[in-house]
Amino acid sequence: MAKVSFFIIFAIIMVLNSKSKEAFEQACKTIPGGVNSPVRAFGAVGNDPLFIESGHGCHITDIDGNKFIDYVCSWGPLILGHLEESVLESIKLTLEKGTSFGAPTQLEIQLAELVTDAVPSIEKVRMVNSGTEATMSAIRLARGYTGRDLVVKFDGCYHGHVDGLLVQAGSGATTLGSPTSPGVPQDYIRNTLTIPYNDIDVVKEVCDKKGKEVACIILEPIAGNMGVIPPKKGYLEGLRELADSHGIVLIFDEVMTGFRVAYGGAQELYNVTPDLTTLGKIIGGGLPVGAYGGKSQIMDFISPNGSVYQAGTLSGNPLAMASGIATLKKLQEEGVYQRLELSSERLAEGFRKAAVDAGVPTYHARVGSMLCTFFHDGEVVDYESAKGCNTQRYASYFHGMLERGVYFAPSQFEASFVSTAHGGEDIDATIQASSEVMKSLK
């Protein structure tokens, strides 16, 4: 334990004497909590955040000049790493023509065609500005299409900060210990049914009792906001069958998993097709973007074809479209996902071995280039088991890795991401650092 204390004290001293400390104090004067998204605050790991100056490849550099191997990757979208050449060039060329018009461009068509060609469930797609906006719009569409009000979601699945979905939510809500939020009317919550993830029997019970009132079932097909938790065998297939039998719209929130775990997302990987899909992250290549799409018969209920209203001045803005097009085209190149799989598998196995050798109880989960080390003595399959993790031990691990130049999410309940820019030397250095830190946690 003495070594653990040393790592934490060293990390705190390092930040206290840094430009990041000064920047954070300055930010707190004008920005609530000093950050524009809660999990960035480092509150769950007992420190102040680092302020980042730049990124290149799989590395980021803070304003003090400290360089880190980055496994946050802007929370997932940078599957090609920072400043990938073709993406950067595409943004530059588009920037020279204008940043926004509030009118259609051909770039929107190109990205829409790439998405519909790739994702099995999507025949038509509407571009928006964020994953939150995508899930909010998809739920409104499902309600308008079915004429029903109830929404079924799952404990620990995070679908953005939509009022009706901030009930037992994951991501920052779990990290900060507040799975619900003040300011959300009880009337909104009343229309949201929240049940355990990965338990098909509970879903069946709900559908048997309330099926005729349920507009949609929404979930992350691979949970990524309470750590990485894959679906149990047959779970997604069971949801598909229940949705069909009760006339419920099945929505896969693939904001994180879309183009990440496979080119066609989790639905391609597991061969289960939802009615609607929400996307974000990678289809913007690092720029703000979201999308929702699905069967034409449902999507045609959206204005101007139908009466379900949704709009956005910056939806489909040229810079985000250009960045997304360049990213998806790069992902189409031969061998990209095979290389990602090999790198991610080697990293995950290195983490597992480091923990076993050190005798530290952990549970490891990985799907494609999404992975997570849970500091938990037992299997993690849902929100309840995830909450049993030793978050203090994760904080010690986080600081030990940071000291050795490896940047993970400042929360036990987030995924780590591997990019095509993570080379063999970066993977080896990360495994070595993990081995050293795990031994210090004994």
pLDDT of residue 168: 53
Name the residue ranges covered by the structural domains of the chain. 2-44+53-75+335-440, 85-331
Quickly count helices (H) and strands (E) in the chain. Answer: 16, 14
Beta bridge partners of 364: 373
Annotate 92-109 with DSSP letters as a single string: HHHHTT-S--SS--HHHH
The catalytic site residues sit at 158, 253, 281
Whether the CA torsion 178, 183, 186, 187 is positive or negative: it is negative
pLDDT of residue 182: 66
User: How many residues are there in the chain?
Assistant: 442
pLDDT of residue 181: 56
Stretch (H or E) spanning 194: strand 192-195
Residue 374 near residue 362, CB atoms below 8 Å = yes
Is 85-331 CATH 3.40.640.10? yes
Residue 427 near residue 86, CB atoms below 8 Å = no
Q: How far apart are CA 375 and CA 279, in angstroms?
A: 30
Stretch (H or E) spanning 55: strand 52-56
pLDDT of residue 18: 86
Max CA distance (Å), the chain = 65
Question: Of 378, 133, 153, nearest to 279 (Cα)?
Answer: 133
- Quote the crossing angle between the two packed helices 318-331 and 85-95, to the nearest 10°: 150
Beta bridge partners of 229: 223
Q: What CATH architecture is 2-44+53-75+335-440?
A: Alpha-Beta Complex (3.90)
pLDDT of residue 173: 42
pLDDT of residue 190: 78
pLDDT of residue 1: 42
Walking along the chain (442 residues) 10 residues at a time, the average pLDDT comes out as 46 61 93 88 85 97 95 97 98 96 96 97 97 95 96 89 61 43 69 92 94 96 95 98 98 97 98 98 95 97 94 94 98 97 98 97 97 96 94 95 96 96 97 97 80
The model carries a pTM of 0.91
Residue 256 near residue 414, CB atoms below 8 Å = no
For 309, the token pair is 């209203």
Beta strands in 203-356 (DSSP E): 214-219, 249-253, 276-279, 290-294
Q: Give backbone dihedrals phi and psi of 291, rounded to 5 degrees, phi first.
A: -160, 155
Question: Of 256, 235, 282, 4, nearest to 135 (Cα)?
Answer: 256
